[in-house]
Amino acid sequence: MIKMAYGTRCLKLTVILMAIFSVTAQVAHSKEKFTLPTPAPLPMSLPIPSWEKNFLLGDGLVPGKRMWVQNMLGNIWHYGTTQSVGGGTGMYVYAPPGGPSGYLCAYDTGVVREEKNGKVVRDDFNQFKGISLWIKGDGSAGTAIVSQGYSGSACKFRIPLKDTQWHKVFMPWDKWNKPVTGPFWFLAFGIERKDDSQPGWYIIDKVRLYKEMKSEEISPTPDNDPPGLLPAKAFVSGRRHITKTLAKLQAKKPVKIVVAGDSIVAGTQLWYTAKAWNLPESAMRYAYFERLGRSLMKHFGYSSVALPFRSFDSKKKEWTENPVPRTSADLTVMAVAAGGGAAQIGLDHIDQILKEKPDLVIWEYGCNDVTYGNLNSFLKATNESIRKLRAEGIEVIVQTITPGSDPTPCAWMNNKSPMEKAGYYNTELRAAISNKGCALADMEWAFLARGPQFTGDIYSDSVHPNHLGHEIMSDLLDALITDRDILIWKYGPVADSVRYREKKSLGDGPKK
């Protein structure tokens, strides 16, 4: 009953947020209000969704940390859902019609053997008998696959999907089709179907290592998934501060936009979208600065767009650029990224931006300040960077810090979660820049709009957004610059969402 009440509260909270954001979109569009109304408080220190708990502790990790799931861009997808056995949220694993599904990779897991000073201090494989999980299937003749390895391996455990009710499954090491014989790091989830023209899905919860085959009492939660299709304009404002750039775009004059920031701008953890392992740069087509550039080219009618990428090597203390020589075009959307860098790095190297003589700068720094910096340094560097850019006549869009997807309190963050600490920084950031003549793209509120327990859908790890997260960032900036009505959180199975596809299927979502 407690768990069900919690799910109901989350649904009510989401409805309240949607109402606020819907009104805000109209106000921001008509009166150009700079700040958004403060939304209802979000529970920033939620228990971790039970399907994401790191059931295998992982080298260097602690109990209760997430099990990060990487979409390998096969024909298979994962989504958070309120349906669980009582842990808050479960995970949909869904394969839409059309071809073999591929695998979802769960990493930062690991059945670990660890030695110190010649003594074994940890031996997961021998300490535990295997892996257990709760599952309910789609009622089909298909099979859920749990596999050792990042994209499947010879060691597989098959679970029939005929049972549509929650039931617990034990997977002893010696009962896999090829017995597991020792430690491993990755775990993958897949689906085998009798007919690939039909969809297949299952929901899993409470993935754990176990010592004894015993079940526990569960309190299944209902399907109360909060709706998607939220207006991007609800999360942006200050369009009046970028009118010079807008005028040049509308006249199809040469325009240069620089997106400056850290590893998020650099597209870190988008490696799985690469066309081939030896073509890592091809993953950048999913990075939000490239998506934005292609969209602006199409909207404003440019014949082409240049998408150069300049990155900072912190070890060599030097910048490199790709491609060389740079492609020439009347529209340029350029990334200047210092992976691992705090806002001070952006300020120290602001010459890398100024020498480009951009019309508009999109400022993203902040995630690393939350991780290892301090608030005063972050605000000081951000304010000084904005001052220098504005002094050169450059228009600025400031992004709030993306919240991450880890609501776990950390001792080294004064028992605050990274998500909660990011929220504190963003509150101060909004106030600090409110009179600086900048536009705002509120990535934090957009990412948290369906509830913090669903951010795992749009992250590759605790810090770096996946291709769906980059799509949301691109869509917010697109809506701010073009004034188009764009919807975010538009992939399935979000209640009431549209179903759409790209070159690689994003899935239609299970039929509910």
The alpha carbon of 276 is separated from its chain's Cα centroid by a whole number of angstroms, namely 22
Q: Which among 204, 229, 191, 271 is positioned nearest to 53, based on CA atoms?
A: 204
Domain ranges in the chain with CATH number 3.40.50.1110: 232-488
Q: Rounded to whole angstroms, what are the CA distances from 407 to 14, 68, 452? A: 18, 13, 8
Q: What tens digit of pLDDT does each residue of 391-405 get?
A: 999 999 999 999 988
Overall fold of domain 232-488 = Rossmann fold (3.40.50)
Kindly tell me if the per-residue pLDDT of 420 is higher than 80. yes
pLDDT class of 412 with cuts at 50, 70, 90: confident
Q: What tens digit of pLDDT does each residue of 155-212 get?
A: 999 999 999 999 999 999 999 999 999 888 788 899 998 888 888 889 998 888 888 9
Angle (nearest 5°) at CA 457 between 453 and 458: 110
Ranges 43-47, 152-156, 495-499, 502-506, most confident: 152-156
Domain ranges in the chain with CATH number 2.60.120.430: 50-210
Architecture of domain 50-210: Sandwich (2.60)
Which has more confidence, 218 or 76? 218
Q: What is the CA radius of gyration of the chain?
A: 23
Ranges 178-187, 237-246, 488-497, most confident: 237-246
H/E stretch holding 202: strand 200-210
Q: 166-170, 255-259, 464-468: which range is least confident on average?
A: 464-468
Strand stretches in 77-195, DSSP E: 77-81, 90-95, 103-107, 113-116, 119-123, 130-137, 143-148, 156-160, 167-172, 187-192
Kindly tell me if the per-residue pLDDT of 54 is higher than 50. no
Phi, psi torsion values for 435, nearest 5 degrees: -115, 25
Q: What tens digit of pLDDT does each residue of 6-40 get?
A: 333 343 434 334 333 333 333 333 232 223 223 33
Angle (nearest 5°) at CA 473 between 80 and 390: 150
pTM for the full model?
Answer: 0.83
